[in-house]
């Protein structure tokens, strides 16, 4: 006997409304959105999933891409997800995969807080120095010659720049500490786990 797979679209407000039960699912996909979501929305989704699944490694959350990390919250997001009982599973693909496993997630948090080795810190410093050099006039001209760097990108990616200008304008116009329309909606319906 074979099981029939079903796909269910669960909008974010269904996770936010704690009075609505979630359907039984084995896989949750969140593509091109996690880094763009408010941190409380991410916490709510993963908290509800862990509450429903517990430590069941046959269940998982997958994200093909995290989305545009404009607010630079990616590392905090990974920490929050770990704290909620999900361990990041290594993958050879570019996708991000988390499985509910409290013990593994705690081990991941412990490993993340360890101080990086001297060799790792030296590599980071070298990369920073290279980045600083490339931003100089000589460095950018050299990078242009080898097909990399800001001058090369400025001459080849002008159409891409004009396409994302509207998105940049949107983020540049955000007022600090002002609630987004999504956050206003959450406070209006009075549902948020955090």
* pTM of this structure: 0.58
Sign of CA dihedral 116, 106, 35, 73: negative
For position 63, what pLDDT does the model report?
92
Please tell me the distance from the alpha carbon of residue 89 to that of residue 7, in angstroms, as a whole number.
23
Domains of the chain: 12-113 (3.30.110), 118-178 (no CATH)
Closest by Cα among 112, 65, 114, 109 to 85: 109
Q: Mean pLDDT throughout 92-118? A: 83
- Give CA 40 to chain center in angstroms: 13
> Tens digit of pLDDT for each residue in 39-51?
988 999 999 999 9
pLDDT higher for 119 or 57?
A: 57
Q: Which uninterrupted H or E stretch holds 29?
A: strand 27-29
Rounded to whole angstroms, what are the CA distances from 102 to 25, 56, 86, 172? 19, 10, 6, 38
More confident residue, 122 or 168: 122
Cβ contacts of 33 within 8 Å, gap of 6 or more: 63, 66, 67
Q: Is 34 exposed, middle or buried (0-12, 13-18, 19+ CB in 10 A)?
A: buried
* Weakest-pLDDT range from 50-64, 68-82, 92-106, 130-144: 130-144
113 pLDDT higher than 80 = no
**Residue % of the chain over a pLDDT of 90:** 24
Residue 160 has pLDDT above 80, yes or no: no
Distances (CA, A) of 190 to 16, 127, 145, 187, 194: 9, 46, 57, 5, 11
**pLDDT value at residue 80:** 93
Q: State pLDDT tens for residues 5-20.
A: 788 888 877 888 888 8
């Amino acid at each position: 006997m074979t099981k029939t797979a079903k796909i269910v679209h669960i909008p974010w407000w269904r996770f936010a409304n704690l009075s609505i039960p979630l359907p039984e699912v084995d896989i949750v996909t969140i593509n091109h959105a996690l880094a763009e979501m408010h941190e409380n929305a991410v916490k709510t989704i993963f908290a509800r999933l862990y509450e429903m699944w517990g430590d069941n490694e046959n269940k998982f959350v997958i994200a093909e891409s995290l989305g545009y990390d404009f607010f630079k919250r990616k590392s905090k997001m990974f920490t929050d997800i770990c704290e909620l009982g999900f361990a990041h599973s290594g993958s050879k693909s570019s996708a991000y995969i988390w499985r509910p496993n409290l013990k593994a997630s705690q081990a991941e948090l412990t490993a993340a807080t360890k101080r990086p080795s001297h060799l790792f810190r030296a590599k980071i410093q070298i990369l920073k120095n290279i980045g600083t050099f490339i931003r100089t006039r000589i460095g950018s001209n050299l990078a242009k010659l080898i097909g990399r760097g800001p001058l090369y990108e400025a001459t080849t990616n002008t159409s891409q720049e004009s396409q994302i200008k509207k998105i940049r304008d949107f983020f540049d116009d955000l007022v600090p500490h002002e609630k987004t329309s999504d956050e206003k909606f959450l406070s209006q319906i009075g549902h948020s786990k955090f």
